[in-house]
Chains A and B, each alone.
Chain A
Amino acid sequence: MLRMLGNFFSGNRKFIPLMSTALLALVAYGIGAYFFVGMRNPQVFFNLFRNTSYLLISGIGMTFVILTGGIDLSVSGVVALTTVASAVLLRDGWNAWVVVLLMLAMGMALGATMGSFITYMKVQPFIATLAGMWFARGMCFFISDDAVTIDNPVFQILGKTKILIPGLKELADQQGTPAPYISIPVIVAFILLGIAIYIAHYTRFGRTVYAIGGNEGRNEQSARLMGLPVNRTKMLVYTFNGFCSALAGLSFSLFVSSGHGLYAPGLELEVIASVVMGGTMLTGGSGYVFGTFFGVLVLAVTQALIQFIGSLSSWWTKIVIGILTLTFIGVQTVLANRKSGKTTQNTQELMAVRRRQQRLALGIGLLVILAGVAIFSVFKFRSGSSNQAEADTQCVVAPFREDEAANLVKNGAVIVYHRTAGPQCVDELFAIYPDGRITGSDGIKKVEKQIAPEEVEQLLTAISVDHQWFTNEIYSTYLNPCRQCFAHYIDISYNGQAKSATGVDGTTAMPPGYAFALAEIRPLLPEINPAP
């Protein structure tokens, strides 16, 4: 039995990273479902796909690039540029489908440009694509400084259509729960995945891609000598990734239904991490497009777990992803060295090196497992001691009441301040009027009080002049608030100018000026829930 298992593993060694990723995703989800009742909800499972459709789309393109031994760091820039450009074009009344086609063409053009620098000018891939990212991000701000909302009906339909799952709908109807659903971008991502698997494994182009990558660029030379169209293939791969980035950008803008140049920071790192976790070698030449799917799934489960645990802030995602990436790269390196060790002569020295590497890999693996256990036990301890974990998972973050805020502004309020989320799931809305009247509620009790009108004037000048509320320094940030952080919405009108912006604290995602403005407003409202 054991031997069979051993034979199976050594025979399918190339599948080990892929299988371990799939297993990791399943186990992580299983652990989550065991500890958190909310995670057993089928909708939470389908949300894993819904929230990461853009990641999967972009991961597919990245897999091809990495297979050729290159890398593309421009993903997040192109995604942000797509959101901004499409939002602005739609605002100017362009046809939605024309915009979609234009965006895809733009992505391909950007990809092709970077590809030509890499292929023909021999610029290192990461430099060329880094420049590409800068360029794309910079262009966003030439197009628009502020976030532009998308209210085009076609985009709304594309983004908000719920596609019910055939078998589960009836089941949900029987139980009287809302039927779980996925969205159109998810379907698009899966179609793209299917096409990409076909291209990678069943076409001449796909085989050329595999032939180019690996062995520190030496395979590229071999491929060239074999007469494979290396240059054309590389160009096509970068163009395809540009296409994928633009498609991911469109899917992202459907997801957040707005466009801004600061969206998706560090997305390329998440994409690369999921490709690596999917078992694709960063040196190229070996890996599976399907593996990327599992890599994205691991990422999605990690994010979901961290959200459900609640006492952990969102930056833990970054750390966990970093650790996972390192582990997978470590395993890859060891596997690669084993492979190369077999082909060369089997001297004792080589064996020693191999043994050392095995020990190193084992050590790292143990360390990671230990760290995981330690972190997990810390949660257990924490959540056990506070007894709040169960209540936290039931809490739903209230959406911003923007319409209500707009009404208050219409009625003469100069500052409208809305705060939601946090450990107690507060939902506070306050309005400050020029005559010093402050009204509002903290979700439990109503508060009404009076301050001096001069104080309001002081506040307004402080926020708009000192902290430059009406400049580009203040912008809305998009971020899923964790349970511990607060999401703020501030609407300020002063001297004929009006601007509202949202921000999330707890992580430092809000612009600095926003935090200062917050610090000016908060002391006026000592009655309401203090920060935890």
Chain B
Amino acid sequence: MTSQDSVNEGRLGIVVSGSLTKGVEVRLDSSTSVEDMVVGRYVTIEGEKRRFFGMITDVSLEATDPKVAVTPPDISDPLIAEVIAGTTTYGKLHVSPYLTIGSDAVSIVEGPQPVKTVPAHFSAVKLASQRDVELVFGSEDEKQFYIGTPLDMETKVCLNVSEFVKRSNGVFGKSGTGKTFLTRLLLIGILQKQAAVSLVFDMHNEYGWEGRDERGHKVKGLKQLFPSRVAIFSLDEESSRRRKVNTDFVVKIGYDEIEPEDVGLLRQTLSLTEASTQAVYQLAREFGQRRWLGSLLSMDDGEETKGLIAKLNIHESTYRNLRRGLEKLRRFPFLIAQAPDNSVQRILDYLERGINVILEFGGYEDYAAYILVANMLSRRIHAQYQEKMEKAMGDYTARPRALVITIEEAHRFLNPELSEQTIFGTIAREMRKYNVTLLVIDQRPSGIDDDIMSQIGTKITCLLDNERDVDSVLAGMTGRNELKAVLSKLETKQQALIFGHAVPMPVVIKTREYGSAASYKEFASLVSAERRQESEKDDLWAE
């Protein structure tokens, strides 16, 4: 076979027009059926001097003669049908090239390069081979975690976990599209590669011990898979016990642990007025940071109280509003006057030892509890981290372990209104200054402050059908119009689009299997392999 033949073998079509910014148009050969072309698949383009790697972002029907649409030919005649296909009528692909691979010296040494030019006219276009995909996405190793397969291929797409944890990241998608499964995989990935230690605020009790899939079957949680590496903290002992979950610690929070900043967050959920939140600061000044809440809750409606609030310039109605709102907090059994133990410290202990902590919220499915606890704990943990990091300036070994905090319903914390106030806004903006990053899970990304979204390094998006959500996720991406098409065509389950720092180019994956015995074995076995490696390393040093 001549080189020209080998170029043409297996080709789909040829490049006929396009630009770097808008992507290239590919005219399909008559032997290629347009119905086989799927948006999101990878193709390679054999240019004159280099090979390009890109994604199909649109498929369209074309004709050399516009009259075809007005007076279609008689395709009941098989001869006419066969002749017309690919000549008068033909399929067209829109391909967004992202990388150049192979051929030139730079690519060979440094791997795929971002694309800076377009392929020459009439370059042959083929479906990407397994080898090409491997070349681009790498294979599993100590930094790469296998997260799924590209469309219609068996090759493994790997996420660069160390890159992943360098920034805050997001998992987005309509409810029911598989965000939870993806998050589990990401947590396992971070765990396996020991890239960071995780603290998960598990609102619906899905990550710790076990969860359920859409059919209601049980799937194992992280603790079942990695018993020695995961600790489950529970906010609701009763619920955990009922679910037969092995808790390592029951979290109780004392009134003295709630600070005025924590209340500001709860304004909406507790229906507090602006004035009320201001009043909290005054009360704190009056009673002290640690005693204001206790004092407030024990205040009666007597004259003393009236006199006090008048003194503090707090309006009667404001006081009522505040009282009413904060009473709601009393309902939380985990909130007691005096906590027996320091939950924050406990958490930090585990994290320091490299053990991932998952805080279950049990039956407390209401947002107030979630927002309060997650924010409060995170704020304190972050403060500790800050201290430690500042102390360890220069001394690398003294730094605390990299921490990834996972929060759900992120738009409730990170909407433009609140993002200034929550610790999460701060964490997201400071970009791992203090070795802490976020993993936000959300189904309404349009609710998240644009500023925060722009700080998110890698986005993993399942199907989104709200235009505003799609726009917010893709904001700032080059070629976002093409990706929009890809995003809107994702299947409702088990498919996601990943783009950002942790992958060399946007990729549509079918998520790796999670829930079968085989999948559990795979996760577990790798850990033991690493553990063996670890112990071998220790032995080495021991001598």
Q: Do A and B come from one complex?
A: no
Binding site for A on B (CB under 8 A): none
Binding site for B on A (CB under 8 A): none
